[in-house]
Amino acid sequence: MANQQWQCAYSAGNSLEAHSLKGLLENTGISVRLTGEALAAAAGELPMSVVEVQLWVTGMQRQQALVVIDGYLRNDYRDWYCGCCGEVNQGQFELCWQCQHDRDE
C-alpha cells in the first residue's frame, strides 16, 4: 500500500529544527523518521547545526503532518515577542497578554 510507505514531508535547515518538529509531530501521534543527520555526523565534516535533516512520515499520516508543519512554520508553536511592549507571549496566543496588541507576522 502506498499509504504505508515513508515519504519526505519536510526538509529542515538544521538538526534543532528537525527535532523540534519531530517532537511536535509525535505529540499528535504521528510517527517520524529523520534522515541526513546520522550520515553527516558519521562523515564528521559538518557541524550538526548546519546539516539539512529530512523528516519522513508515512503516506497515511502525511497530510496530518503537513498541517502541523505548516503551523510550526507560521510560528504557531513558537514564543513571540510583542512588537508594542516587548513582552514574550506563548505561541498559541494571538494577542499580547500584557497590552492586547495584535501579534505581528
DSSP classification of residue 75: T
Q: Which is nearer to Zn ion, 70 or 104 (CB)?
A: 104
**How many angstroms separate the CA atoms of 52 and 83, rounded?**
31
Asked whether position 82 contacts Zn ion by CB under 5 A, the answer is yes
Is 103 an interacting residue with respect to Zn ion (CB under 5 A)? no
Instruction: For Zn ion, give the closer residue by CB, 23 or 97.
Output: 97
Q: Which of 8, 84, 88, 95 binds Zn ion (CB under 5 A)?
A: 84
Report the nearest approach of Zn ion to the CB of residue 80 (Å). 10
Q: Does 101 bind Zn ion (CB under 5 A)?
A: yes
Find the binder of Zn ion among 85, 88, 95, 104 (CB under 5 A): 85
* Buried-state track 68-98, b at ≥16 Cβ within 10 A, e below 16: bbeebeeeebeebebeeeeeebeeeeeebee
Q: Is the dihedral of CA 11, 7, 77, 27 positive or negative?
A: negative
Cβ proximity to Zn ion, 26 vs 104, nearer residue: 104
